[in-house]
Amino acid sequence: MDEETIWEFVWPEVAAVIEATMREDETAVISHLAPGGTAADLGDLFGLTVFDILLKTTLGYDQLNLTQVVETEDGVFIEFAWEGSAVSAAGMPVDKAVCVLLRMVNGRFRITDINPSSLNLYLTEARARAVLATAKILSQRDALSPEPWVLPLTLYGGFLPLPLRPASFRDAIEALLLPGLQKREYGVLSLVKARRLWRDFKAAQPLPTGKPADWAAAVEWVMSEQNSRAMQETAVAQWYAATPAKLRAHAAAIKNTLSITGVDPRYAEWQMVDVFYQEES
């Protein structure tokens, strides 16, 4: 990808989303997101607040630098960083980098994902928890630091339960499942993946029968497998007042229908993005 394309067609999409977020224009933000992408799903679940955290506008800086552009088969990765040095109250350097993935949609670049870290070290639920533990923040869970630099970590680590928008729920299963995952401190990407898993299943089996609680419990149990949480079926069933036998049957139906045989990249949150640097601008 040449420099002219980057500056004329790719970077303006990122800049427009940053500006729209700062002026609290949700309609404008949505217009730059790829439908069905992770960024769009997060916006649907949580609204503008999530973009303030992902883009790190909460840090309060007003200038940024474009630091990396990498084109891969997944799309174009744009990395930028807010200007200015900063150290947290815990004595840790503040990570001001943000990575945005864009893909061509109907002749225009659209944002599919926003990760509040550098391209070289994508933020995941596991890494967020590790950083928080290193900073000794998890030992003070009842009084998590209000510093802006902590917000992306707590969001991804599952310790910042942003209000879910009821309008984003399509059915009673999602209305039970997503708040349940938040209670069990799943990160926001796990919520997106869990909702995607359920919707993929419903697309293949549009009329699943049975109690919503049994299906919600089954989806959470499958997600616990995908996130290597190793939860007991009986424990998950109890959280939803569901039937363990129904949970097992529904989970088997979900995995069979979606051809899930192990950790599946469609639904597992923890995997890192593997970027092969062939060309860099």
**Residues 231-250: pLDDT tens digits?**
889 999 999 999 999 999 99
Determine contact, residues 195/216, Cβ cutoff 8 Å: no
Q: Give the pLDDT band (50/70/90) at residue 58.
A: very high
In a domain, 174, yes or no: yes
Q: What DSSP character marks residue 164? A: P
Query: Which residue is listed with tokens 């069990």?
Result: 184
Q: Which of 38-47, 90-99, 182-191 has the lowest mean pLDDT?
A: 90-99
Rounded (10°) angle between helices 244-257 and 212-226: 60
> Does residue 170 surpass a pLDDT of 80?
yes
> Does residue 169 surpass a pLDDT of 70?
yes
C-alpha radius of gyration, the chain, whole number = 19
Q: What share of the chain is helix, strand, coil (3-state, %, to 5)?
A: 50, 15, 35
Percent with pLDDT over 90 in the chain: 74
> Does residue 281 surpass a pLDDT of 50?
no
In a domain, 272, yes or no: no
Query: Which residue is listed with tokens 């993935």?
Result: 101
Q: What's residue 92's pLDDT?
A: 64
Q: Which has the higher per-residue pLDDT, 253 or 271?
A: 253
> Does residue 227 surpass a pLDDT of 50?
yes
In a domain, 107, yes or no: yes
**Residues 96-153: pLDDT tens digits?**
999 999 999 999 999 999 999 999 889 999 999 988 888 766 555 555 556 888 999 9
Q: Provide the CATH number for the domain around residue 185.
A: 1.10.472.10
Name residue 120's beta-bridge partners: none
Q: Which secondary-structure segment (H or E) carries 115?
A: strand 108-115
Q: Which of 67-76, 91-100, 182-191 has the lowest mean pLDDT?
A: 91-100
> Does residue 272 surpass a pLDDT of 70?
no
Q: What's residue 133's pLDDT?
A: 84
Q: What's residue 207's pLDDT?
A: 81
Q: What's residue 84's pLDDT?
A: 76
Q: What's residue 279's pLDDT?
A: 43
In a domain, 142, yes or no: no
Q: What's residue 228's pLDDT?
A: 87
Mean pLDDT of 57-80: 93
Residue type, 96: K
In a domain, 216, yes or no: yes
In a domain, 133, yes or no: no
Q: State the residue range of the domain holding 71.
A: 3-122
Structure tokens at 41: 């799903």
Q: Provide the CATH number for the domain around residue 117.
A: 3.10.450.540
In a domain, 262, yes or no: no
Q: Is 0.75 surpassed by the pTM of this model?
A: yes
